[in-house]
Structure 1
Amino acid sequence: MNVNRDVVHERLRLMRDLLTDLDEIGQVTVERLGADRIIRHAIERIVTQLVDLSVSINSHIVAATRGEVPRTYRESFGALAAVGAISTDLAQELAPSAGLRNVLTHEYVTIDLSIVARAVPLAHTGFRQYVVEVARYLLAG
């Protein structure tokens, strides 16, 4: 199976759009998330979508290059690093976002707004870097 570059590029574009939306929201604090439910829901949705899109990309590239699909969302980042599409450091930085995504999506527990607020800078830097590294990988391949 070959990597479908068009599909991956489209998902990267969607991620860039989400990151732009996140930028437009501005500073995110626990107090702001607690006081403004609309902003809270927007942040939660953006973070969830960033993780979902990246895991979809991870799984696609890994399946196309190795013939296997990562077993978990968290493992998909390491598997993508193993094929050389992102750095190991970035994979380690982003892998925990899979756990936050699960909490936000399934609401296993009461959501700790401080964790959500701390996830925003990671999204700003980590997922931006992810988009750059995956796009570079596609160009090289």
Structure 2
Amino acid sequence: MSPRDFSREVLQVRLGLMRELLDDLDAMGDVTVGSLTQDRITRRAAERILTQLVDLAADINTHAATSLGGLRPTEYRQSFDAAVTAGLIEQELADALKSSVGMRDVLIHEYVATDLEMVAAAVPLARRD
């Protein structure tokens, strides 16, 4: 398959993985600063789920934008704008989701100490958006 070929299966698999991650996030219940502080497993699970959701969303965006819109986003943030151009999502949602890229970068690359308040605040946003 060339990079320009659209694959419904690629999108379905990634969307299925996102659904599983969101189900896992729901199974965790309320994620608070306290629960993240007291339970390292909960913190690491929440952080990993959040980063995987962003990775999968960017993969979906890039696949759709490349195959449907002839665009080739080179950065995660760009992938959300490209998804708008390809007709995958609305601009309002793209704008809301772009901030998740910054959170993902901090969690993956550990540029700074993780702000657990931001992680706890990101969980309901991930569930909603």
Shared fold (TM-score greater than 0.5)? yes
Output the TM-score relative to the length of structure 2: 0.94
Q: 1:84: how far off?
A: 1.0
Mark the runs of 5 or more structure 2 residues left unpaired by the alignment. none
Moved over 4 A (4+): none
Query: Which residue of structure 1 lines up, in the alignment, with residue 63 of structure 2?
Result: 60
Instruction: For 1:37, give the aligned amino acid.
Output: R
Matches within 5 A, 1:86-125: 86-125=89-128
Would the aligned equivalents of 2:64 and 2:83 in 1 still touch at CA under 8 Å? yes
Mark the runs of 5 or more structure 1 residues left unpaired by the alignment. 127-141
**Fraction of identical pairs, as percent:** 51
> How many angstroms apart in 2 are the aligned matches of 1:15 and 1:87?
19
Instruction: For 1:9, give the aligned amino acid.
Output: Q
Query: Which residue of structure 1 lines up, in the alignment, with residue 78 of structure 2?
Result: 75
Query: Which residue of structure 1 lines up, in the alignment, with residue 46 of structure 2?
Result: 43
> How many angstroms apart in 1 are the aligned matches of 2:33 and 2:126?
16
SS at match of 1:74: helix
> How many angstroms apart in 2 are the aligned matches of 1:69 and 1:115?
30
Would the aligned equivalents of 2:71 and 2:82 in 1 still touch at CA under 8 Å? no
Output the TM-score relative to the length of structure 1: 0.87
